[in-house]
Structure 1
């Protein structure tokens, strides 16, 4: 199914994203309910308990895609990694110290990127990604992608990301994720 019409993408800082939290939640809940994620209402609630604290970070940036009538169809958001981030500690095998080094500005962590099913295959994810990255000053972008999400992994590779390891975020019960890095400089 293809949705016709113009899709507008808005770049947001944290305060604007908090004002639009219902749109982010709707996209997240629908996109991540599908396999391989299979997120439940409890998973969505947990993600959006974290959202306000993420959005308060000075480096938080978001992009929200909507139809001409305001229907939310896609989103992306993240923030730079703090010097004491645990992101690198979650890898199943250590990476070199130079890769792990964070200073609060070096690496933008892409926390979420999702497009609702009926609007996929129209380049919206790429536009969200480009809009989001157009607002950051980091030298690289880091993300985790579920290994079962072949479409997402393929898109990230086309966009220039490379796999640098594997991780089980949030503990041993989580699905294995590919850790991917995009050099911006």
Structure 2
């Protein structure tokens, strides 16, 4: 665990993240309530129907930021992606980690919490690169990812009916 300005960031494995699901849900619901995501209570519920399955997958890891009194302020999670997402470099298949979500609640933004979550999540990850999707209208998130070394690698719709997202990659 690391601590800065009374906010603690802890990395969690799948079972620990499953136990903290309500904290992840709280951050997700608030952080993605506004544009460009406009998540509703129903869409948050749908997203978290998949959470127990995700936390049970091999290699799943998460990071959770809390205040000194335990209030959740930020979260990140991801998992290794299949071989079709890794690409090849010479004759070696690249291991790719998928950063699925990274979010910080409004009052704690611009305090370095997202960067600390990102670092905690990826510390020691057994991968050659990280892949994520970001909504192009989420300019603050896109700028942060670029500042952390990500580059745009293309565009994709991460799920059926989704807006077109930028696909970003970070070489580790």
Common fold: TM-score over 0.5: yes
- Do the aligned residues in 2 keep the contact of 1:82 with 1:102 (CA within 8 Å)? no
Residue 137 of structure 2 corresponds to residue 121 of structure 1:
no
What secondary structure is seen at the aligned counterpart in 1 of 2:100?
Answer: strand
TM-score, structure 2 length as denominator?
0.92
Gaps of 5+ in 1: 89-96
For 1:91, the equivalent position in structure 2 comes to: none
Gaps of 5+ in 2: none
For 1:38, the equivalent position in structure 2 comes to: 38
Cα deviation digits, residues 118-174 of structure 1 (max 9, x gap): 000000000000000004111100000001100000000000000000011212x21
CA RMSD of aligned residues (A): 2.1
For 1:50, the equivalent position in structure 2 comes to: 50
For 2:72, the equivalent position in structure 1 comes to: 72
Q: Higher relative contact order at CA 8 Å, sep ≥6: structure 1 or structure 2?
A: 1
For 1:94, the equivalent position in structure 2 comes to: none
- Do the aligned residues in 2 keep the contact of 1:106 with 1:139 (CA within 8 Å)? yes
- Do the aligned residues in 1 keep the contact of 2:83 with 2:95 (CA within 8 Å)? no
Runs of 4+ in 1 over 6 A off after TM superposition: none
TM-score, structure 1 length as denominator?
0.85
Whole-angstrom distance in 2 between the partners of 1:142 and 1:50: 20
